Amino acid sequence: MGAPATKLAVAGTMILETRGLMKTYGGVAALQGVDFALKTGELHCIIGPNGAGKSTFFKLLMGIERPSAGQIVFKGRDITRLQAHERARLGITVKFQSMRVYQDLPVYHNLFIPLRRHHRAREIPAVVERLLADVHLSGTGEEYVRNLSHGQQQWLAIAMAVAAEPEVLLLDEPTAGMSAEETTATARIVKRLNGQGTSIIVIEHDMAFIRDLDSMTSVLHYGALFAQGAFKDIEASVEVQRIYLGTL
Ligand code: ADP
């Protein structure tokens, strides 16, 4: 019985935690004491109705806003006071909703730029091929980005974030503006990246996408964690259904 217990302990290591995280804007409490933990290798969705505090939580994790109180801990280290670029250097990478790709460059060059930091020039073509395959863009290396669909451009932006070899990848509404087919493909991409070992937090309100991801899910409501569990249990929860209908 000893070996499985050890494995469980390793799999359960926390990579990113928040403790009592609070944020007030003037008199408005956008977050009121959120204790959250992402396990190493976990894919975790954060959902909640409009105004629940999702964007605020994301901005605090990224380091573009400071909490009013509480702590953010990455691999046991308090990073609450670190700037966004310092967190990125530690391995926390963000793919914003509005992330820009270089429209007037070929796909290959968009990836070459972030890959230069981690790879020798001669290794880059093979890494680009692997990244493009991961995000459903095989064979598009020579295409100009402006000729890709909106969804394909978003996948390229995900590949650019992954090129930084993050330990934690933060995805902000990755399916915004996508078709149903692109949304389904994006769920496959996110699951594949998670399967390769990247710990991922997804902030999203597209329920079809979250259902496809079928992962651990936390529900924010009025700036507090309202529920947490496997997506199927969250979806079945009458209380969660009521907050989405606005009756709680
Ligand atoms: P969500 O992303 O879940 O829609 P937000 O994090 O954007 O929620 O907002 C949570 C609450 O904080 C809302 O009441 C919102 O009006 C308020 N809020 C967010 N950002 C600001 C800000 N910069 N100034 C004032 N209030 C804000």
Task: Round to whole Å and give the CA distance between 95 and 99.
Answer: 7
Ligand 1 atom index nearest CA of 53: 6
For residue 52, report the phi and psi dihedrals to the nearest 5 degrees.
Answer: -75, -20
Cα-to-centroid distance, 23 and ligand 1 (Å): 10
Residue with CA nearest ligand 1 atom 23: 25
Does position 5 have pLDDT exceeding 90, yes or no?
no
Cα(133) to centroid(ligand 1), Å: 37
Mean pLDDT calculated for residue range 14-29: 96
Q: Which residues pair with 32 in a beta bridge?
A: 22
Task: State the distance between the two ends of the chain, measured CA to CA, in whole angstroms.
Answer: 45
Distance 171 CA to ligand 1 centre (A): 18
Centre of ligand 1 to C-alpha 96, Å, is 17
180-193: average pLDDT = 97
244 falls in which pLDDT band (50, 70, 90)?
A: confident
Q: Whose CA is nearest to atom 15 of ligand 1?
A: 51
Q: Which atom of ligand 1 is nearest to the CA of 26?
A: 25
Over the chain, what is the mean pLDDT?
Answer: 92
Determine whether the shortest distance from the Cβ of 86 to ligand 1 is under 6 A.
no
Residue-wise pLDDT for 126-180, tens only, equals: 999 999 999 999 999 999 999 999 999 999 999 999 998 999 999 999 999 999 9
Predicted local confidence at residue 3, as pLDDT:
42
The pLDDT, as a whole number, for residue 247 is 59
- The string of pLDDT tens digits covering residues 75-110 is 999 999 999 999 999 999 998 877 789 999 999 999
Residue 145 Cβ inside 6 Å of ligand 1? The answer reads: no
How far apart CA 186 and CA 49 sit, in angstroms, is 22
Q: Name the pLDDT band for 7 (thresholds 50, 70, 90).
A: very low
177, 204 Cβ separation under 8 angstroms: no
Q: How far is the CA of 144 from the centre of ligand 1 (A)?
A: 37
pLDDT at 121: 92
Nearest to 53 by CA among 175, 226, 206, 212: 226
116, 103, 178, 112: which is closest to 143 by C-alpha? Answer: 103
Q: State the distance from the centre of ligand 1 to the C-alpha of 25, rounded, in angstroms.
A: 8
Query: Which of 41-45, 98-102, 108-112, 206-210 shows the lowest per-residue confidence on average (mean pLDDT)?
Result: 98-102
Whole-model pTM above 0.75? yes
Tell me, in angstroms, the distance from the centre of ligand 1 to residue 17's CA.
21
Count the helix, strand and coil residues of the chain and give each as a percent rounded to the nearest 5.
Answer: 40, 25, 30
Residue nearest to atom 14 of ligand 1 (CA): 51
Q: 9 pLDDT exceeds 50?
A: no
Give residue-wise pLDDT tens across range 44-66.
999 999 999 999 999 999 999 99
| 168 touches ligand 1 (CB under 6 Å) | no
Annotate 194-215 with DSSP letters as a single string.
HHTT-EEEEE---HHHHHHH--
Per-residue confidence band for 248, with pLDDT thresholds at 50, 70 and 90: low
Q: Which band of pLDDT confidence, cut at 50, 70 and 90, is reported for residue 4?
A: very low
Beta carbon of 97 within 6 Å of any ligand 1 atom: no
State both tokens at 195. Answer: 């399967």
Task: Decide the pairing of beta strands 224-230 and 216-221.
Answer: antiparallel
Residue nearest to atom 27 of ligand 1 (CA): 25
| pLDDT number for residue 207 | 87
